[in-house]
Amino acid sequence: MNPLQPGAAVVAFTERRDEKRRPEPVSMTASPIDRRRLPLNSLRAFEAAARQMSFTRAAESLGVTQSAVSRHVLNLEEVIGAQLFERRGSSLALTAAGQDLIGNVTPALDRLQAGLNAICEIDRGGTLRLALPPSFAIRMAAPIIETCRAQGGVAIEIDTPYVLESLDSTVHDAAVVFSRPRVTDQVMDLLWMEELTLLCRPDMAPRVREEGIAAALARETVIHIRNEAGRHTAWVELLRAAGVAATLPQGIVFDTAYMALDFAAREGGLVVADRRLAARDIAEGRLAAPLSVTAASGFGYFMLFRPDDLQREAVQIFRRRMLTEFAPSLERLPAGSERAQGAA
């Protein structure tokens, strides 16, 4: 349930031998590039490296050596006269020039792939790069993603960043974010607003129901989920809604709802979490909601898209399936008309 927010994508970069051989960034002024000088192999290597944020993983995905990817990226930097990656210690990040270039290269390669597949009559809808909150990805996304793959032949790549608010500085085509409603120039579809409820193992529920929250807090292990607003906020909101004044024990703190719910189901304890995120645990009898009281946290789960990406078939397939599952009232709205759903 942890919200995610963006930042320059930085990932561990373990190959250091090529780093030592790599020359300083090029400072020459590049000449205009025509099609005779278009470095297609270098662009493909750059796109893979930017998508993976790792030369090693890019090499694996392309079936070449890590040094070959490094040489291709260096060649591209020499052609355009700008540095595309920065190394920060043992990490790798896109420069401003790299971020600008990846925003053009990925759609161009996707269009080229789609055009070739159309000629071959095997248009598979392209590749969809998704950023999902960890708990959402584990608990909600698997059947939806499988449906997208089965219906549209969409190749899907998933990242689970802990923090993401915008697609401005990422290579993702779409994201699900845990956020308060807000104004943005990107398309934001509300999936659902968080509804907090008290959860525990079914064998604990009768006693909690009989004695009440205050007594249960003094006796049971209290489980907190750290989120954007802090680790105690879910409990504070629920106690306020229940009209209970009680001191919150420090308890155990988890940084994802998935781990907190799993611990409560296996080991016992009390946790306040989103009822919809815990729906499968409740349905399968792993957890129970001993009290009827619920509280709104002010946070919700939203889909996030760039307006231009809504024209891509892979994005359309994913968006339709998600709206059908979580927000059927929005399914028939035209592209772009849901922006108000993300506005305060």
From first to last of its 344 residues, what are the pLDDT tens digits of the chain?
Answer: 444 444 433 333 334 444 444 444 444 455 677 777 788 889 999 998 888 888 888 888 888 888 988 999 999 898 888 999 988 766 788 999 999 999 899 888 888 877 776 555 444 456 788 999 989 998 888 888 887 777 767 788 888 887 788 887 778 889 999 989 988 889 999 999 999 999 999 999 999 999 999 999 999 999 999 876 556 689 999 999 999 988 888 889 998 899 999 999 999 999 999 999 999 999 999 999 999 999 999 999 999 999 988 888 888 888 988 888 887 544 433 333 333 333 32
Question: Which residues of the chain form beta strands (DSSP E)?
Answer: 11-12, 85-88, 91-94, 127-131, 155-159, 174-179, 187-199, 222-225, 252-254, 270-274, 294-305
Asked if 110 contacts 118 with a C-beta cutoff of 8 angstroms, the reply is: no
Which residues lie closer than 8 Å to 98 by C-beta, 6 or more apart? 46, 50, 83, 84, 85
DSSP single-letter state for residue 192: E
In b/e form, how buried is each residue of 214-250, taking b as 16+ CB within 10 angstroms? eebbeebbbbbbbbbeebbbbbbbbbeebeeeeeeee
What are the backbone angles phi and psi of residue 126, rounded to the nearest 5°?
Answer: 90, -175
The helix, strand and coil proportions of the chain, stated in percent and rounded to the nearest 5, come to 45, 20, 35
Residue the block writes with tokens 């209970």 = 244
- Partners of 130 in the β-ladder: 158, 174
Residue the block writes with tokens 């296996």 = 266
